[in-house]
Amino acid sequence: MEASAAPPMWVLPSNASDGDLQLPRDMTFNSGHVVSIACYSALMVASAAGNLTVLTIILRQRGRARSRVNHMLMHLAIADLLVTFLMMPLQIAWAATVSWRAGDLLCRLMAVCRVFGLFLSSFVLVCISMDRYFAILRPMSLSQVDRRGRIMLTAAWVMSFLCSMPQAMVFSVQSHPTVTWYEQCITWGVLTSHRAEVLYAIFSSSFMYGIPLLIIIFAYGSIVAEIFRRSRRTGDDVFRRSGLGFLGRAKTRSLKMTLVIVLVFFMCWTPYNIMSVWYWFDRESAERVDERIRSGLFIFACTNSCMNPIVYGVFNVRRRDSAARGTGGGGVAGRCEVRGRGRRRTFSSSGAHSTCSGDSRRTVTSLVPLPP
């Protein structure tokens, strides 16, 4: 991952001296640093605004009004805020100063902090995916479900801390061998061989991306398989709303929202991880890729912290719009005709004439309002 791999400006050439005014481009402030500062600043503002809004909305929910999924999304927002207020300001300051000027202790501390939020985001997404898996395929009592959720979230925080701590051991401040005033916070002094660098990169990428990806694929793959299995058994079309009827409206909405959040995460992070694997296993050819593209892939990955609040907002706006239509808020509302044992009743919230099919054993509505 980016935290363990040395970006281009950390590579210290030995063909310069203290008196040499023509330093290599990556050792001086240039247009690339300006672009990085602008991009990270914009991401920081957008991510802070979005995630603080989501966090405030969820914290205002009390008791049963705060669903288990929303509780996990609160932890995801916290993880994104850690990325926003720990990693992004560091990237901005680092781009502005080019060299590292905060000493060895802060070098090691910041190396831990800049990846903690990234690990936490990945592990919370695993918690969300497994929560949906258990809710649909292994339903339990409410008390057991809540306890399981707390255990998973606690494990996510502990694992994030444990996976981040090696950063404090492999990162340190190193001086340029000839330009002695130029210092960087890098792994060069500890990971002295290419093999060691590759092993540490594999460790970081596996726990931040690879292993979460496999677990999430298993969870949602199992859910999709179960949906198809039940749909075939009932004869429903899985691509229609009725095909997900056995889940319930709230559970279906939560499943769709969490699936989109997971897909956005992997859409943002996959290009960067592909580039990282390429770099560590064939550095010579990977370095021929434009430096701006390589740097841009990590910036693109960081946009994930801005996307989660957007997904949350879109799904909740749609939910409220559906609820407004269902309560006679000006749209076509739900109406159902129930037949059974010689009696026939019609329910409508707006007076709009719409038929529903049903018999004494089952009633299927054509328009169903969502609960407010």
What are 27-85's pLDDT values in tens digits? Answer: 788 888 899 999 999 999 999 999 999 999 988 886 655 678 888 999 999 999 999 99
On whether both 320 and 341 belong to a single domain, the answer is no
| Model confidence at 194: pLDDT above 70 | yes
What is the torsional sign of CA 335, 337, 338, 343? positive
On whether both 342 and 194 belong to a single domain, the answer is no
How many domains is the chain built from? 2
DSSP state letter for 3: T
On whether both 355 and 207 belong to a single domain, the answer is no
Other residues' Cβ atoms within 10 Å of the Cβ of residue 78: 17
In degrees and rounded to multiples of 5, residue 165 shows phi and psi of -60, -35
Report the alpha-carbon distance of residue 320 to residue 300 in Å, rounded. Answer: 31
Report the alpha-carbon distance of residue 262 to residue 121 in Å, rounded. Answer: 10
Average pLDDT on 249-271 reads 87
Q: Which two tokens stand for residue 55?
A: 């966090």
Domain that holds residue 370: 334-372
Average pLDDT on 124-132 reads 93
On whether both 354 and 273 belong to a single domain, the answer is no
Instruction: Give residue-wise pLDDT tens across range 197-232.
Output: 889 999 999 999 999 999 999 999 998 888 888 777
The CATH number for 205's domain is: 1.20.1070.10
On whether both 150 and 276 belong to a single domain, the answer is yes
- CA 124 to centroid of chain Cα atoms: 8
Higher pLDDT, 353 or 219: 219
Q: Which two tokens stand for residue 142?
A: 């409410």
pLDDT of residue 104: 92
On whether both 230 and 343 belong to a single domain, the answer is no
Contacts of 211 (CB under 8 A, 6+ apart): none
On whether both 174 and 62 belong to a single domain, the answer is yes
Is residue 263 situated within a structural domain?
Answer: yes
What is the torsional sign of CA 320, 237, 231, 261? negative
Is residue 195 situated within a structural domain?
Answer: yes
| Model confidence at 14: pLDDT above 70 | no
Higher pLDDT, 346 or 230: 230
Whether residue 308 contacts residue 77, with contact meaning beta carbons closer than 8 Å, is answered with yes
On whether both 288 and 340 belong to a single domain, the answer is no
Whether residue 193 contacts residue 29, with contact meaning beta carbons closer than 8 Å, is answered with no
Q: Which two tokens stand for residue 331?
A: 């749209």
Average pLDDT on 306-312 reads 90
Higher pLDDT, 126 or 364: 126
On whether both 67 and 122 belong to a single domain, the answer is yes
What is the torsional sign of CA 350, 351, 354, 355? positive
Higher pLDDT, 177 or 275: 275
DSSP state letter for 371: P
On whether both 108 and 237 belong to a single domain, the answer is yes
Other residues' Cβ atoms within 10 Å of the Cβ of residue 268: 18
| pTM recorded for the entire structure | 0.77
pLDDT of residue 256: 86
On whether both 248 and 339 belong to a single domain, the answer is no
What is the Cβ-side half-sphere exposure of residue 141, based on CA atoms within 13 angstroms?
2
Whether residue 171 contacts residue 108, with contact meaning beta carbons closer than 8 Å, is answered with yes
| Model confidence at 2: pLDDT above 60 | no
| Model confidence at 162: pLDDT above 90 | yes
